[in-house]
């Protein structure tokens, strides 16, 4: 229903999780670009703007689990299979977002690094840190900003997908009593 038919050697679990991972990454990319083009990313609203993707994550995880339950498991799915599906959706979306984050910070909006670091420097100055410590921290942060953002993108996506999957799989799994009824 939601995926393209592929070679029978390629498991449908991969197709389903890749597809819904791409959907979620697409929402994240769209929100990032909307924030960039509208200037929201540099405003006070920029802090909460990224949370707009969370309902989409829940929707895509539910749809992926529902599809796997019907297409791959014949209408029955355990809690663990549901969580595993959600984690894989998070892995694929994290990989795509990591690639986009690299392009975003190095090509599309490299000024965002300086903007973010300037905010951090101002916060350190407000805490009255030693100027030498501040300059050392800023040099290190500038050097590691993009790699940390890339790793954080993957880990954050997997973490959020796992967290949401632990809850959503409760509702998409098949209860043992339901399995007995279907078996009869």
Token pair 């993009």 is found at: 146
Q: What is the largest CA-CA distance in the chain?
A: 74
Give the 3-state secondary structure of 64-75.
HHHHHHHHCCCC
174 three-state secondary structure: coil
Q: What is the pLDDT along the chain (184 residues), one digit of tens a residue?
A: 445 555 454 566 688 899 999 999 999 999 999 999 999 888 878 778 889 999 999 999 999 999 988 887 788 888 999 999 999 999 999 999 999 999 999 999 988 888 888 888 888 888 888 888 888 888 888 888 899 999 999 999 999 999 999 999 999 988 765 555 555 4
């Amino acid at each position: 229903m939601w995926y393209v038919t592929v070679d029978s050697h390629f498991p449908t679990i991969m197709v389903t999780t890749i597809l819904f991972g791409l959907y979620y990454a697409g929402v994240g990319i769209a929100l990032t670009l909307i924030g960039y083009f509208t200037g929201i990313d540099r405003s006070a609203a920029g802090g909460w703007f990224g949370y707009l993707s969370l309902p989409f994550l829940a929707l895509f995880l539910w749809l992926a689990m529902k599809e796997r339950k019907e297409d791959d498991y014949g209408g029955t799915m355990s809690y663990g299979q549901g969580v595993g599906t959600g984690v894989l959706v998070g892995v694929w979306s994290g990989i795509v977002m990591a690639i986009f984050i690299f392009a975003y910070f190095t090509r599309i909006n490299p000024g965002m690094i300086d903007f973010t670091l300037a905010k951090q420097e101002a916060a350190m100055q407000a805490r009255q840190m030693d100027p030498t410590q501040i300059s050392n921290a800023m040099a290190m942060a500038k050097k590691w900003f993009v790699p940390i953002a890339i790793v954080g993108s993957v880990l954050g996506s997997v973490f959020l997908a796992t967290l949401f999957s632990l809850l959503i799989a409760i509702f998409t799994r098949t209860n043992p009593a339901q399995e007995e009824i279907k078996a009869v």
